[in-house]
Amino acid sequence: QDTQEKAAILADLGFQLGMFPVADVATNPQAFIYERTIGLDVIGTNTFVKTVVKSLKETGVASTLKHFPGYGDNLDSHLEIVTDTRSLTELEEDALPPFQAGIEAGADSILVSHNIITSLDATQPASISPTVIQFLREELQFEGVIMTDDLDMAGMTDFTSQEAAALSALKAGNDLVLSSHYASQIPVIIQAVEQNDYPEIDLNQAVYRVLKLKAELGLLKE
């Protein structure tokens, strides 16, 4: 009921998509992400995420699961580059279930963190990693919109330039890039498409997923 009431307020204000629910599992009050989560274990978080996604569906506001594949007890990537050294087994047991629950409930989009997930790709942040995006598509079978976390966060700005980050994010398989530096990023992306460094077919697939979501929300007029 709380979700539906808040979603109704957002809908009345003209918002069609919300950056929630937070699907991170955190039971340690000292963890950076704790206060942004429901503060429950995996099972409790699964139930919370599933309930919120279904409630948002009923209200007509699109949902966003974040921050894939889950922060855990790691540091704050708003402030620094964060490396998550949990094994894939640990992620599958302690972090991924709420995302799977949200996907099964019909989540519309997923936001990927800038944390470097060593068990999947130790070379770069998850948000610009083709391996992480492929894992989300193939292993979790998510077919909706995938977006980056804010590229202005230190977890990305300390790793690479804004222009390189945006292009890398799209080439990795993201459909949307969250950034305020679009004026300098768009020309780089256009050039990459023209030079086939970022294939137009990949761009079209990303656009299709975004337009499909807009159509489902009733935002496209014939």
pTM tops 0.75? yes
Residues of the chain above pLDDT 70, percent: 100
> What pLDDT digit, counting tens, does each position of 64-90 carry?
999 999 999 998 999 999 999 999 999
Please state the rounded mean pLDDT for residues 49-63: 95
Domains of the chain, by residue range, sit at 2-216
Active-site option among 78, 94, 152, 181: 78
pLDDT at 144 over 70: yes
Active site (annotated) includes residue 78 = yes
Does 181 participate in catalysis according to the annotation? no
For residue 221, the model assigns a pLDDT of 78
pLDDT band at 23 (very low <50, low <70, confident <90, very high): very high
Marked catalytic residue, from 24, 108, 121, 149: 149
Q: What is the pLDDT of residues 166-181, one digit of tens each?
A: 999 999 999 999 999 9
Q: What string of DSSP letters covers the chain?
A: -HHHHHHHHHHHTT--B----B------TTSTTGGGS----HHHHHHHHHHHHHHHHHHT-B-EEEEET--TT---TTTS--EE---HHHHHHHTSHHHHHHHHTT--EEEEP--EETTT-TTS-GGG-HHHHHHHHHTS---SEEEE--TTSHHHHTTS-HHHHHHHHHHHT-SB---S-HHHHHHHHHHHHHTTSS-HHHHHHHHHHHHHHHHHTT----
Q: Which fold has domain 2-216?
A: TIM Barrel (3.20.20)
Lowest mean pLDDT among 26-30, 111-115, 150-154: 26-30
Q: What is the per-residue pLDDT for 2?
A: 86
